[in-house]
Amino acid sequence: MKKFYVKKNELEIVLKLFSSFSTCKELDKLFDKILDSSRELTNCDAGTLYIKNDEDFLEFKLSRSYFLSNKFGEEGVNDLFKTFTLKIDENSIAGYCAKTKKMINIGDVKNLDKLVTFTYNDYWDKKYDYNTISMLTFPLINNQNELIGVLQLINAKDRKTGDIIPFSRKSEYLLSLIAMQSAMAIDNIQLTTRLHESHIETILKLGIASEYRDKETFNHIRRMSEYSSLLALKVKKSQKYAENMRLASMMHDIGKIGIPDAILLKPDVLTDQEKKQMQKHTIFGAMILKESQSDILQLAAKIALTHHERWDGAGYPLGLKGNSIPIEGRIVSIADVFDALSSKRIYKESIPIENCINMLKSEKGKQFDPELVEIFIESLPEIDKIRELYKDTDESEPEIFTIGDIIVDLSSL
């Protein structure tokens, strides 16, 4: 058997890819890195990455081709196949690879061994005037021997002549290294994403539980959290901060779970003593959230405590004034009040947007941060889109549940 040697630059490509896995948090960027490095190492024209979905199909995620890029552009190549899926069975090359979890190296797809069960489908070749010859297909398997996806490379080229050649044993070896580590990297990001989505759902339920007792709606939480995120992005220009604000602001009234129903649901005007008790929901909320090590819950604690403070110092519970109020509390204050004014409630009709804006303007320098009010008003086109996306309907009301129905370890958020 002919020996092969891994060159220093090839090893550097592999190591550089592996080191990037620890810092890459987005699947799309990870897919790019995997495919680009694989094509560079094997000197092939094209490659496609499939990920197994929940229905046992291979779902197309990314495709790259130097040949097709000249025709359609790099992103154009991806658009050609973006809705493509393959059944995991023995009929297609990628499907067979996924089903058997075995590497397949084919020198010429048009001259397959008669004993194999799969066939080569030349539909895409004919459609885009491409000529697939050699193909190397690898399963992406995680540590639990579960299929994550399939990496398929097409048309290896001789580095001197540029002629299309079969994929070498060295290419098989290098791709086996990449496939193994890539599967684990993809699996880790997918797990993190699922946990993040679970946390979002928990946060939303916590927010809804607190608001439900106060006869608010599911979409109130959605809207005001999106308003808060939008303002945060405009002010700090950080997507991560804006996303954290979106999640944290959902829990701004979580402290209401500590307010007796006799006060929280009282239809009449509250007495002075009852008002003082109601105002404690800000303190209760901060106490519930502040012990967590999570950045999101620390942010939520700050918001819960300060979203009823006023720019002029007449707010509660601390009587903070101006910039001494954390900007998170100032942002949520505007978002919450605007949605309360502009939305229909059991006890009131919605107020026209123009009137709501005038009310915000009239409270500049009093209740609200003047600069944030201006930014909010300048953002009305985006605000309108959020209102339309999460508008109240009879179907949008949440199912009835209490805070006791939600079992959650807040330290995990």
pLDDT per residue as tens digits for the range 11-21:
888 888 888 88
Contact 157, 163 (CB under 8 A): yes
**Is pLDDT larger for residue 130 or for residue 349?**
130
**Rounded Cα distance, 33 and 26, in Å:** 11
Coil/strand/helix, residue 82: coil
Compute the average pLDDT of residues 256-279: 89
* Beta-bridge partner residues of 52: 58
For residue 64, what are the contacts with CB-CB under 8 A and spacing of at least 6?
Answer: 35, 36, 39, 46, 47, 48, 74, 77, 78
Residue with tokens 């799309």: 28
What pLDDT, on the 0 to 100 scale, is given for residue 273?
Answer: 94
Which DSSP letter does residue 368 get?
B
* Residue 397 clears pLDDT 60, i.e. is over it: no
Compute the average pLDDT of residues 147-160: 95
pLDDT digits (tens, 9 = 90+) for 400-411: 333 333 333 333
Give Cα 318 to chain centroid, integer Å. Answer: 36
* Residue 211 clears pLDDT 70, i.e. is over it: no
Predicted model pTM: 0.56
What pLDDT, on the 0 to 100 scale, is given for residue 396?
Answer: 44
pLDDT digits (tens, 9 = 90+) for 156-209: 999 999 999 999 999 999 999 999 899 999 988 888 877 766 666 666 566 656
**Nearest CA to 155 among 135, 129, 127?**
135
Where helices occur in 317-407 by DSSP H, the ranges are: 327-342, 353-362, 370-378, 380-389
**Nearest CA to 149 among 68, 41, 45, 38?**
38
Compute the average pLDDT of residues 215-229: 82
Share of residues in the chain with pLDDT > 90 (%): 58
Coil/strand/helix, residue 236: helix
Look over the chain and give the mean of its residue pLDDT values, rounded to a whole number: 87
* Residue 73 clears pLDDT 90, i.e. is over it: no
Question: Beta 85-87 vs 164-165: how paired, if at all?
Answer: unpaired
Window from 248-262, 283-297, 312-326 with minimum mean pLDDT: 283-297
All domains in the chain, ordered by first residue: 8-190 (3.30.450.40), 213-412 (1.10.3210.10)
* Residue 105 clears pLDDT 80, i.e. is over it: yes
Give Cα 211 to chain centroid, integer Å. Answer: 25
* Residue 216 clears pLDDT 90, i.e. is over it: no
Question: Where is 65: in which H helix or E strand?
Answer: strand 57-65
What pLDDT, on the 0 to 100 scale, is given for residue 301?
Answer: 93
Where helices occur in 237-326 by DSSP H, the ranges are: 239-249, 261-264, 272-279, 281-289, 295-306
Q: Tokens in use for 35?
A: 């495919």
Which DSSP letter does residue 185 get?
H
